[in-house]
Amino acid sequence: MTTAAIIVAAGRGTRLGGDRPKQFRELGGKAMICRTLEAFDRIDGIGPVVVVVHPYDESLYRASVPDWADRPPVVHGGATRQASVLAGLERLVSEKPEIVLIHDGARPFVSAQLIARVEKAAKDAGSAIPVVPVTDTVKEVDGADNVTGSPDRTLLRAAQTPQGFAFEAILTAHRRAARDGDTAFTDDASVAAWAGLSTVTVAGDVANTKITTERDLMLAEAILGGPETKWETRVGQGFDVHRFTDGTGVRLCGVDISHDRSLEGHSDADVAMHALTDALYGALAEGDIGRHFPPSDPQWKGAPSRIFLEHACRLAGARGRIVAVDVTIICEVPKIGPHAAAMQRTLSKIMGLAVDRISIKATTSEGLGFTGRREGIAAMATATVAVRTQHAEPEHGADT
Ligand code: MG
């Protein structure tokens, strides 16, 4: 009577940004996958444990879990989570476990008590999952994102992992689903339900969170309180100028403002958003817009500037988080004040940053210079970015 475990770590999603899949990112000084495996390794009576990783990530896995004599063996995953789980199940066939626990590699905070609850319920009922109450009211929407219904929240639960199953039953269900080409299941209880198996629930744990976003990772770091991750504050500046040309309006910080002139430029000439984007690149020492989106490349002609800003925000998100930005627009006309709040809201949506972290200011240049002569608009911006430092900085003056 044995219980095996499959840790699914084959996703290559880069929602967290960065150069490695989230399960191999560092969390309090060690790789997330290492913490997840330790949670299972601490429990007597669970084994074997297999880890499913993408073939590209096998060396990353070996580097992430370096010192274990009995480091769990690797199985190569498939194109979907479901295919990866099936690969793990097939690897366990020769072991003939009674129960298998299937767990997300990106849930490193799973407790021994939770694992034990799921294991016991799976032994009793054949199929068991941990769930937590849903605290937000859930909405159903149609294809146009309009609300079509509000399911009764008291009947809803959010499913976690590990999910536990009688091995033979879940293996059969997964094999059948794969053979029938049903590949859209997002958890194993869904595969079990599709195969006609009934599943019981046990109390999950709100701490057993799945780390998906950069914010999740930051919260996890804060919970661990590890000294290994240090933060530093970076400030970048950006400056840009576009000249007026014939036209009927300008776009500034993503907001269209009617005017008797337009701005000339290769993209949509959003001079303020360009300055802001360059400030973010500056904080990250990532050059400027021209380096990432060369003006010589015709695909950026007429491009909305938000794609530049989104790119800079993704780079910032991969390294840390944006603390605040401050934009100053310099022109005699049009008047900026009436549009500043709309600019804040627009930038907030694009950047995923609260409006109280986004400052929009404007000034004239008292009739002096090119902006004073109404020949164009200038914009300057600063960006403050908190960046993780994962490696020791070279000491000042050290020979290199
Ligand atoms: Mg520009």
Q: Is the pLDDT of residue 227 over 70?
A: no
Higher pLDDT, 333 or 303: 333
Instruction: pLDDT band for 25, please (50, 70, 90 cuts).
Output: confident
Q: What is the pLDDT of residues 153-172, one digit of tens each?
A: 999 999 999 999 999 999 99
CA of 145 to the centre of ligand 1 (A): 34
Q: Is the peptide bond before 162 cis (omega within 30 degrees of 0)?
A: yes
CA of 289 to the centre of ligand 1 (A): 8
Q: Is the pLDDT of residue 312 over 90?
A: yes
CA of 285 to the centre of ligand 1 (A): 18
CB 110 within 8 A of CB 103: yes
CA of 273 to the centre of ligand 1 (A): 8
CA of 233 to the centre of ligand 1 (A): 26
Among 165, 189, 171, smallest CA distance to 88 is for: 171
Q: pLDDT at position 58, please?
A: 84
CA of 241 to the centre of ligand 1 (A): 6
Q: pLDDT at position 183, please?
A: 84
Instruction: pLDDT band for 299, please (50, 70, 90 cuts).
Output: confident
Structure tokens at 37: 């495996």
CB 189 within 8 A of CB 159: yes
CA of 219 to the centre of ligand 1 (A): 36
Q: What is the pLDDT of residues 339-373, one digit of tens each?
A: 999 999 999 999 988 899 999 999 999 999 999 99
CA of 269 to the centre of ligand 1 (A): 6
CA of 296 to the centre of ligand 1 (A): 14
CA of 267 to the centre of ligand 1 (A): 8
Rounded (to 5) percent helix, strand, coil in the chain: 35, 30, 35
Neighbours of ion ligand 1 (CB under 5 A): 240, 274
Q: Is the pLDDT of residue 391 over 60?
A: no
Q: Is the pLDDT of residue 282 over 90?
A: yes
- Tokens 């549009």 — which residue? 339
CA of 396 to the centre of ligand 1 (A): 36
Instruction: pLDDT band for 301, please (50, 70, 90 cuts).
Output: confident
What distance, in Å, lies between the first and last C-alpha atoms of the chain?
Answer: 58
Q: What is the pLDDT of residues 173-198, one digit of tens each?
A: 999 999 998 888 999 999 999 999 99
CA of 293 to the centre of ligand 1 (A): 11
Q: pLDDT at position 229, please?
A: 61
CA of 264 to the centre of ligand 1 (A): 9
CA of 303 to the centre of ligand 1 (A): 12
pTM value is 0.58
Q: pLDDT at position 399, please?
A: 44
Greatest mean pLDDT among 3-17, 25-39, 82-96, 312-326 lies in 82-96
CA of 278 to the centre of ligand 1 (A): 9
For 71, the 3-state DSSP assignment is coil
